Copies of this chain bind each other. A is one copy, B any other.
Amino acid sequence: MRDVPDPPLRPWSPPEYEVDADGKVVGARPGEPNHWGRWGDNDQLGTANLFSAERVAAAARLVRRGKRFALGLPIGGIATPGHYRGAPLHLYNFAAGDGVLAGGLGGEAYQVSDDYLVMALQASTQLDGFGHVGAEHTLYNGYWAGLVTSSLGAQRLGIHHLANGLAGRGVLLDVARHAGVGHLEPGYAIGPSELAGTAAAQRVEIAPGDVLLVRTGHLGWWLGLDREGKAAVGADEPGMSTRAIPWLADHDVAMLALDTTALEVRPPEPDAPFLTFHVAALRDLGLLLGELFELDELATDCANDGVYEGFFVAAPMPVVGGSGSPLNPLVFK
């Protein structure tokens, strides 16, 4: 058989910390700003705590026309950008057509279909769980990264904790439109001034508990490229700068979602290697992050009526111990 070289190894020394009976790394300290302990030492919801009943009720009153926008990408049928995760695999276990051939289930009388999906939970429009990215062996609220294993899944911070639904005021920040472009260029970093500037131009004020839908235009543009065009772009994208973190914390934002694959700007900024934003958001702030949101149709509507807010509703799949979930978020205006 063809030789398969063994991967190189490095020596390994055990870490120097202990993990307590709550699953916390003893002595671990988050970055600043952070929300560790804000909602209790055993909190696993992070900024989902901001979706209070009062805010949900208020956000529901934003539904005026009754128009709804689904932000989820089709699964299958189209390519999704820059993904090491591979395309979802959609397979029929039995198909109604088989019944026409007398080779179906359902006998003579019925034709029945039933299908499977094999899918990376983050391979399309999705929500990050708090087990998705950590640093210094810690996750949100000081939980140990070692709690997430293939054998037992995420023993804490599983995505199912968020499955009670994400609902609140959704605000579209159309940064691309504000910048006067169809889409922001790959590498374009979105910091506090872009967020604040766009909000001001849109005459919308960001309030605690808001869901920010930040539009770069990248996804729609990318989907329209041909194969060579996509190859030329590679994994580069516009996205969030770590400079936006304090602003997001100051405004007590509940969720941040972009129309890009990785949410963070790529290539990353010189002083912030890739995943720095994820760590600051997921681990330190417990901030809900959404990726690959389709925002173009919503953006057109908002530009037309000048209303950039609506009732945002999303329900992650209750995958017990999962590190993320596909999402088909809805915005009602």
Contacts and interface: CB of A to CB of B under 8 A. Distances in A.
A55 interface: yes
Nearest to A152: B103
A278 B322 CA distance: 31
Interface residues of A, number: 131
A111 interface: yes
Contact of A114 (B77, B118, B313, B323): B323
A233 to B, nearest CB: 15
Most buried by B among A54, A94, A148: A148
B315 A113 contact: no
A284 B73 CA distance: 30
B22 A18 contact: no
A71 to B, nearest CB: 8
Contacts of A87: 86
Given A11-B21, A91-B116, A97 B98 contact: yes
Interface string A122-150: 10000001011111010100001111111
Most buried by B among A76, A105, A137, A275: A76
B149 A98 contact: yes
A306 B75 CA distance: 40
A192 to B, nearest CB: 24
A59 to B, nearest CB: 8
A76 B119 contact: no
A14 B17 contact: yes
Given A147-B97, A315-B329, A73 B118 contact: no
Contacts of A316: 328
Interface string A14-32: 1111111111000000000
Most buried by B among A74, A95, A139: A95
B149 A106 contact: no
Contact of A73 (B55, B318, B321): B318
Interface stretch (A62-70, A171-179, A197-205, A235-243): A62-70
